[in-house]
Amino acid sequence: MRDTKMADLSTPTSILSPGLPEAVREAQSVFRSLMMALARPGTVRRIAVPVQSPGNLSPAATAIALALCDFETPIWLDEDLSSDEAILRYLRFHTGAPVTPDRGKAHFAFVSSGTQMIDFDAFSPGTLEYPDRSATLVVPVDELEEGRGWRLTGPGIASESRLLAGPLHPGFVTALAENRLLFPRGIDVVFVSGDRIAALPRTTAVEV
């Protein structure tokens, strides 16, 4: 990993794409979608706010960052995202969140694609005393559809639910299974696709 470059602060902010136009209402709406996605693993929800996402960051990932990140939540970006000055500037300006090159310190981690191998172990799973001190990983996928695909069980799921998310690296499901064994520690995963999201909290068991 190379160090994340500082954004060029001399660039006028007027060229930045805007954040949430109606921040109070829209942040609530984004949070509520994410809350229900996490409470009902495998359900796909729409992020119903207009965002002009910077660079390669998907609209839903951008909306999550705008709604939930601030100076208290270090963000980690993979190499592809962190090498894009427009993304760095946008996140710094609109969220105030520090962008960290240290995955272990990240509260929110954004990757450019799920097809690369993502090293779950590098992110904080929290401690047994404080399992909430853990990272949320936001993964973009092309396909995100409920009702078919993986079989999901666990809290938030009446009997079982089905979720198709992809394409993903072949090691992704194994990483999810290992992550679940850490419970109550672990990271939580949010899939984003365009303006849609689905979530897999650390409690969800995934069968291919």
Partner 1 sequence: MNAPAASGYNFAYLDEQTKRMIRRAILKAIAIPGYQVPFASREMPMPYGWGTGGVQVTASIIGEDDVLKVIDQGSDDTTNAVSIRKFFEKTTGVATTTATGEATIIQTRHRIPEAPLTEGQVLVYQVPIPEPLRFLEPRETETRTMHALEEYGLMHVKLYEDIARHGHIATSYDYPVMVAGRYLMDPSPTPKFDNPKMHRSAALQLFGAGREKRIYAIPPYTDVVSLDFEDHPFEVNRFDTPCALCGASGVYLDEVVLDDRGRRMFVCSDTDHCETRRADGHRGADGDATP
User: What is the contact mask toward partner 1 in residues 1 to 40, using x (rule: CB under 8 A)?
Assistant: ---------------------xxxx-xxx-xx-xxx-xxx
Q: Is 73 in the site for partner 1 (CB under 8 A)?
A: yes
**DSSP per-residue letters across 52-114:** ---TT--HHHHHHHHHH--TTS-EEE-HHHHT-HHHHHHHHHHH-PPB-S-GGG-SEEE-S-S
Q: Is 62 in the site for partner 1 (CB under 8 A)?
A: no
Kind and range of the H or E run holding 153 = strand 143-153
Q: Is 205 in the site for partner 1 (CB under 8 A)?
A: no
Residue with the two structure tokens 């951008």: 62
Residues in 87-126 at the binding interface with partner 1, rule: CB under 8 A: 107
Supply the DSSP symbol for 122: G
Minimum CB separation from partner 1 for residue 9, in Å?
Answer: 23
CB atoms within 10 A of CB 167: 12
| Number of chain positions touching partner 1 (CB under 8 A) | 41
Dihedral angle, C-alpha 120, 138, 143, 51, nearest 10 °: -170
Minimum CB separation from partner 1 for residue 105, in Å?
Answer: 16
Q: Is 181 in the site for partner 1 (CB under 8 A)?
A: no
Contact footprint for partner 1 (CB under 8 A): 22-25, 27-29, 31-32, 34-36, 38-40, 67-70, 72-73, 107, 127-132, 134, 136, 155-158, 183-184, 186, 188, 201-203
